[in-house]
Amino acid sequence: MTNTKLDRRLFMKGVGAAAFVTGAVNLPAASAYAKGMGSMGMSMAYDLNEEYNRIGAGDFKWDGIRKMNRPYDVPYPMGVADMDFRTCPHVTEALQTRLNNECWGYEAAPEDYIDNIVAWNKARYNQTVNPKSIKNSLGVLDGVTSVLRTVTKPGDKIILHTPNYSSFFHVIPDALCELAESDLILNKDGTYDFDYDDTERLLKEGASAIIICNPQNPTGNCWTAEQLGKIGDLAEKYNAFVVADEIHCDFVNKHAKYTPYAAVNSTNAKNSATFKSASKSFNLAAHRTAYMFCDDPDFMDRVEREANHYRALMHTMGTIASNAAYKHGAQYMDDMQAYMDKNAHILQDFCAKEMKDVNYKAHEGTYLAWIDCSKVAKKLGNPMGNETVGDMMQRFFIQKAGVNLNPGEHYGRTGEGYMRMNLATQHSRLHRALEAMQSAIKNI
């Protein structure tokens, strides 16, 4: 079998492809950040500043948005939540090695796949995951739907604290349930809190499950142990089940902390299931591979039986990619985390100094910024036809700045005036996008 040519795709600073393929490069499984010794700052092992051309791959973020908006070009697609960086080179190397086998029969996940999932959560978050409870899923949403179908009856209400991830608005009816929307409370410091009285009201009225997004998409909020404990206590009091989507947990900025829902206390652990994936952290969404777990392995067996959820044989390349990421990707993740933190502060500083019609304070987690564009909306006037305010602003930024952002209304009734901005791109590209937005706003 010949060696795969990876050259620049490795994008490791000062490291050649030959050294990598022959095993001369070994990144630590648990880096300084993972051991609680602080972040790397901007002294990075990977060249994240490299801009490369994604056009032509067929992805939604670049090709899809350009096709939808012809004849307008969209050089700054900052909507769909994936990243403009090459993935960890260990992932690419593992995939290339498997490709060279040239046979695609039935295949289980790598033997150490579950062990590496457990080790990743323990090393980075001191979270103990029972390996016997881990189940595969063809993505977080697939797993959420399966769990909801296990713990609810058709017609049950599911609490969603909004603004919240737009796809949950579709998952709830897919589980044959109904939405019970509860507005988050915006604090003076820019963070959010739950409305506990409203949450309890909905539980009293019969809501049987709560979906928690942690860190929260789109607000970027990292929930504290106290906040998550209050939700857990309410769920316990009214016999409700908590679905904890923690797919963004590896992206937490320096001033914040991610607390796993199930790690808060025994109450939270026993009334919940947690969902994670390497897809956000290592840009592997196309591989459709996730996992879910809870404190009770018997419950996860119920999910397989009652929700017809059986995923023992997963996407072969997805499990290989995820396994390599968890096994070798700690340094890459630390670099990426520091880079995203820098981008959040680039945006914050630019809004404060140059683009004062947009209000933003560096968020806590995810690589998604929840920006207040209500002043821009006011300048633009009334939407056309059946447009929402967010649709109007999305059209404006695409046509006048070449920047695609997601309308705030996609995330719930309190999203009007806000836009979601994906910061997972190179510093240089982010600067150009912000300059284009500012120029467009000045010319309204």
Q: Which CATH number fits domain 62-85+332-442: 3.90.1150.10, 3.30.70.260, 3.40.50.1220, 2.40.40.20?
A: 3.90.1150.10
- Write out residues in the chain with pLDDT < 50, as ranges: 1-10, 14-41
Q: HSE-up of 440 (CA within 13 Å, CB side)?
A: 21
Look at residue 404 in the predicted model and tell me its pLDDT. 97
Look at residue 6 in the predicted model and tell me its pLDDT. 47
Contact criterion met (CB below 8 Å) for 171 and 192: no
List strands edge to edge, sheet with 418-422. 368-372, 418-422, 406-407
Look at residue 310 in the predicted model and tell me its pLDDT. 58
pLDDT digits (tens, 9 = 90+) for 16-43: 433 333 333 333 343 333 333 333 345 5
- 94: Cα separation from own chain's centroid: 23
Q: Do domains 62-85+332-442 and 113-328 have the same CATH topology?
A: no
Look at residue 284 in the predicted model and tell me its pLDDT. 95
Q: How many Cβ atoms are within 10 Å of 374's Cβ, its own excluded?
A: 18
- The closest alpha carbon to 222, from 358, 92, 363, 344, belongs to 363
Look at residue 43 in the predicted model and tell me its pLDDT. 55
pLDDT digits (tens, 9 = 90+) for 137-173: 988 999 999 999 999 999 999 999 999 999 999 999 9
* 3-class SS letters over the chain: CCCCCCHHHHCECCCCHHHHHCCCCCCCCCCCCCCCCCCCCCCCCECCCCCCCCCCCCCHHHHHHHHHCCCCCCCEECCCCCCCCCCCHHHHHHHHHHHCCCCCCCCCCCCCHHHHHHHHHHHHHCCCCCHHHCEEECCHHHHHHHHHHHHCCCCCEEEEEECCCCCHHHHHHHCCCEEEEEECEECCCCCEECCHHHHHHHHHCCCCEEEEECCCCCCCCCCCHHHHHHHHHHHHHCCCEEEEECCCCCCECCCCCCCCHHHCCHHHHHCEEEEECCCCCCCCHHHCCEEEECCCHHHHHHHHHHCCCCCCCCCHHHHHHHHHHHHHCHHHHHHHHHHHHHHHHHHHHHHHHCCCCCECCCCCECCEEEEECHHHHHHHCCCCCCCCHHHHHHHHHHHHHCEECEEHHHHCHHHCCEEEEECCCCHHHHHHHHHHHHHHHHCC
Provide the token pair at 435: 């300059």
**Amino acid symbol at 228:** L
Q: Which CATH number fits domain 113-328: 2.30.110.10, 2.60.120.280, 3.40.50.1970, 3.40.640.10?
A: 3.40.640.10
Q: Would strands 403-404 and 76-77 be described as parallel, antiparallel, or unpaired?
A: parallel
Within 8 A by CB and 6+ apart from 142, the residues are 290, 309
Angle at 222 between CA 220 and CA 224, to 5 degrees: 160
- Give residue limits of the domains in the chain: 62-85+332-442, 113-328
